Structure 1
Amino acid sequence: MTALVIAALAAKGTSTIGGMYHLARGYGRLLLPNLAALGGDITTDAEACP
């Protein structure tokens, strides 16, 4: 999952990743503000999370 996030940050355009709850559960220190600091414009869809 982390590799998908890194690839999405490196890609041009918009990337959509499903199942982000796996990332939040397994990588507590990899928070959205930290990913945004790497250059991502990140939004989440609370309705899509189980």
Structure 2
Amino acid sequence: MIGVRGPGRLHGAAVEARDIRAVTALLIAALAADGPSTIRGMFHLRRGYDHLLPNLATLGAEITTTPGGP
């Protein structure tokens, strides 16, 4: 078992992900943050986690997407 405690609260921000692991980590951090976040590079999720956003929405996450990316 592991316990983790950060130094303070996370705040929403505009960020950019360059690979699938980064976008997933940023998405999780954005869900935990106070305020809205904008994540560029969400197209990386199509490489293996295309079901993640709808699943998070069923759990109550408020996620909006706009078309873009390669």
Query: What is the TM-score normalised by the length of structure 1?
Result: 0.72
Report the structure number with the largest CA radius of gyration: 2
Q: Distance in 2 between matches of 1:36 and 1:9?
A: 11
How many residue pairs were aligned?
Answer: 48
Q: Which residue of 1 aligns with 2:6?
A: none
- Greater helix fraction, Structure 1 or Structure 2: 1
Matched, 1:43 2:45: no
More displaced stretch, 34-43 vs 16-25: 34-43
Show structure 1 runs of 5+ residues with no match. Answer: none
- Greater strand fraction, Structure 1 or Structure 2: 2
1:9 to 31, 43, 51: 31
Question: Over aligned residues, Cα RMSD in angstroms?
Answer: 1.6
Q: Which residue of 1 aligns with 2:10?
A: none
Gap change, CA 1:23 and 1:5, over 3 Å in 2: same
Show structure 2 runs of 5+ residues with no match. Answer: 1-22
Q: Which has the higher contact order (CA 8 A, sep 6+)?
A: 1
Structure 1 runs of 4+ off > 6 angstroms? none
Alignment check: 8 A CA contact 1:9 1:39 kept: no
